[in-house]
């Protein structure tokens, strides 16, 4: 492993810890734990997640600066095109919702919202 790769990995790990540690609500319920989706390598990972109504999903854009977005055409929801940073969306309506990326139509994902 090169030094550069090692440093990059450390930064990535630190970022994940930071997001995880400050994302919790004060409810103390594991059911409402933050749901995070990595946007990397032209894919959303995990590709399909199940949440409860009122829960927030955060996409983390980490595809080495390549811009992606998150578009729920059915819900009229569209994030900015982002090469870094995060985007969060709260789901208040139950259902199965698919989303895609504008520049890369074969990037798709699914959010299943349960009552
Ligand atoms: Cu994309």
- Tens of pLDDT along the chain (115 residues) come to 444 544 444 444 444 444 444 444 444 444 567 899 999 999 999 999 999 999 999 999 999 999 999 999 999 999 999 999 999 999 999 999 999 999 999 999 999 999 9
CA of 49 to the centre of ligand 1 (A): 18
Task: Say how many C-beta atoms besides its own lie within 10 A of residue 13's C-beta.
Answer: 10
Would residue 105 count as lying in a domain? yes
Would residue 109 count as lying in a domain? yes
101 annotated to bind ligand: yes
Looking at residue 62, which CATH number applies to its domain? 2.60.40.420
What pLDDT does 31 receive? 57
CA of 29 to the centre of ligand 1 (A): 33
Would residue 21 count as lying in a domain? no
Answer whether 68's CB lies under 8 Å from 101's CB: yes
CA of 69 to the centre of ligand 1 (A): 6
Would residue 23 count as lying in a domain? no
22 annotated to bind ligand: no
What pLDDT does 4 receive? 53
Query: Structural domain of residue 92, as residue ranges?
Result: 35-114
Q: Domain count of the chain?
A: 1
pTM for the structure as a whole = 0.72
């Amino acid at each position: 492993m090169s030094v550069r790769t090692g440093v990059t990995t450390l930064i990535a790990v630190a970022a994940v810890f930071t997001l995880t540690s400050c994302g919790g609500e004060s409810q103390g319920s594991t059911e409402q734990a933050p749901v995070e989706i990595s946007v990397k390598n032209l894919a959303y990972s995990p590709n399909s997640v199940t949440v409860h109504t009122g829960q927030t999903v955060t996409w983390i854009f980490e595809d080495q600066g390549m811009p992606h977005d998150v578009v729920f055409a059915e819900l009229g929801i569209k994030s900015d095109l982002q090469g870094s940073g995060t985007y969060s969306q709260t789901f208040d309506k139950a259902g199965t919702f698919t989303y895609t990326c504008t520049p890369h139509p074969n990037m798709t994902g699914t959010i299943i919202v349960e009552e």
